[in-house]
Amino acid sequence: MTTIPTLTTERLTLRAPMAADFDALRAFHSSDRSHFVGGPFTEAESFDYLCKVIGHWTMRGYGRWVVTLTGAEDRPLGLVGPYYPSDWPEPEIAWTLWQGAEGKGIATEAARAARSFAYETLGWTTAVSMIAPKNVRSIALAERLGCTREGAFDHERFGRLDMWRHPARAEVPA
Amino acid sequence: MIPHLVDIPQLETERLILRGPQASDFEVLAPFVMSDRASFIGGGADKDITHAWRVLAILSGHWHLRGYGVYVLQPKGSDTPIGSMGPWNPEGWPEPELSWTIWDAEAEGKGYAFEAMTEIRRYAYEVLGWETAVSYIDAANARSIALATRMGCTVDESAHGPHPDDVVYRHPPLAEVLA
């Protein structure tokens, strides 16, 4: 039984992470593309990482979903959702796409759904997204979502992360 | 909203409730992880609260990836957890382990770990279907070695643990445990 809610958008299903997602996570974590999230990682680190993705739900009552294309095979495309580990200055809407899912508007669509969930269901009154200054793809997405850059913080392992402030709840179409 | 991710079967012994990890355990787990009492399990006085947070998140997430995991021990009639123990098998572990940790120093020396581990080992054999079980113990961890010995474990020289200083204690098989 799970009570991690499942979200659906026009094209996507956002569902609870599970053991079967490990191989796709590994493919991403062992590639250079994972450097914005602190990678590359070893197998053991990836296992701990996936544990933490799920454990975050236990710790906070919310967390990141695995994004899949509805109707296609249940292939995990990445992680999107509200995220607030203990070393973050405030809760954020986080997104990471794994291999081969970029350039199709998937992250935008999933992040919009996650932001709506944070505002409507979790009752957040504001939201940010933390983005590495060189992560141009994520910055473009933040801009598409109407975010504006507002300060930065220095993370012990990731270095500087810019904080992108989302439009307030009232300014986002439900 | 508290997400309930998998059904974690609650176990019970004479004095203890054994249940799944939950967010409120952080209050007791965090000071333990950030103390040198946790040095044998990757904690220590040099670790910060973020490290402790990750430890609890991993304890919880392991359940959902493996379908089993460590239980949190709670004495009956108390709301305060005293430790975590049970089946542990993260990526990179040579074989599934039965692990144990008492968080609260005050709870040591009362036989709680022996009581919980006896039930958890039975569960691993009878319900999870394990045919064998090991416990990886740092060679300098005298207290854990004493518990392993009390549980009938013997050193398995042919096996190796995940860390260089580990000694592998092999548990007696199910037939002997039930005898």
Q: Residue A134 domain-assigned?
A: yes
**Which domains does chain B show, CATH number per domain?**
11-129 (3.40.630.30)
Q: Residue A12 domain-assigned?
A: yes
- Does the pLDDT value for residue A1 go beyond 50? no
Asked if B46 has any chain A CB less than 8 Å from its own CB, the reply is no
- Does the pLDDT value for residue B83 go beyond 80? yes
Q: Residue A56 domain-assigned?
A: yes
Rounded to whole angstroms, the Cα distance separating B52 from A56 reads: 13
B1 pLDDT band, cuts 50/70/90, is very low
CA distance between the termini of chain A = 29
Select from B4, B21, B26 the Cβ nearest to the Cβ of A1: B4
pLDDT at B179: 67
* Chain A interface with B: residues with Cβ < 8 Å: 1-4, 16-19, 22, 42-44, 46-48, 50-63, 85-87, 156
Q: Is B39 left (phi over 0), alpha (psi -120 to 50) or beta?
A: alpha
- Does the pLDDT value for residue B2 go beyond 70? no
Q: Residue A127 domain-assigned?
A: yes
- Does the pLDDT value for residue B169 go beyond 60? yes
Mean pLDDT of B63-89: 96
Per-residue pLDDT tens for A70-111? 988 889 999 999 999 999 999 999 999 998 788 889 999 999
pLDDT at B76: 97
Q: Residue A156 domain-assigned?
A: yes
CA dist B124 → B17, B130, B170 (Å): 17, 6, 14
Mean pLDDT of A124-140: 95
Rounded to whole angstroms, the Cα distance separating A162 from A157 reads: 14
* B5 vs A28: which has the higher pLDDT: A28
pLDDT at A157: 82
- Chains A and B form CB pairs within 8 A to the count of 100
- Does the pLDDT value for residue B9 go beyond 50? yes
- Does the pLDDT value for residue B99 go beyond 60? yes
Q: Residue A85 domain-assigned?
A: yes
Q: How many domains does chain A have?
A: 1
Residue at B38: amino acid letter: A
- Packing angle between helix A43-60 and helix A22-29, nearest 10 degrees? 120
CB atoms within 10 A of CB B17: 18
Q: Which residue of B has its CA nearest to A57?
A: B3
CA distance between the termini of chain B = 45
A37 pLDDT band, cuts 50/70/90, is confident
3-state secondary structure of A77: coil
Range of the domain at A35: 7-171
What backbone phi and psi angles, to 5 degrees, belong to B77? 85, 0
Q: Residue A1 domain-assigned?
A: no
| CATH number for the domain that contains residue A84 | 3.40.630.30
Contacts with B109 (C-beta within 8 Å, 6 or more apart), sequence order: none
Q: What one-character DSSP code corresponds to residue A119? A: I
What backbone phi and psi angles, to 5 degrees, belong to B21? -65, 145
What backbone phi and psi angles, to 5 degrees, belong to B161? -95, 180
pLDDT at A174: 59
Region of poorest pLDDT, from A127-131, B7-11, B27-31: B7-11
Region of poorest pLDDT, from A107-111, A122-126, B15-19, B173-177: B173-177
pLDDT at B5: 63
Residue at B162: amino acid letter: P
Asked if B6 has any chain A CB less than 8 Å from its own CB, the reply is yes
Contacts with A58 (C-beta within 8 Å, 6 or more apart), sequence order: B2, B3, B5, B21, B22, B23, B56, B57, B60, B61
Asked if B127 has any chain A CB less than 8 Å from its own CB, the reply is no
Region of poorest pLDDT, from A30-44, A77-91, A108-122, B109-123: A30-44
Mean pLDDT value across chain A? 93
pLDDT at B70: 97
Mean pLDDT of A18-34: 93
Mean pLDDT of A129-149: 95
Mean pLDDT value across chain B? 93
Q: Residue A24 domain-assigned?
A: yes
Q: Are B104 and B32 in contact (CB under 8 A)?
A: yes
pLDDT at B17: 97
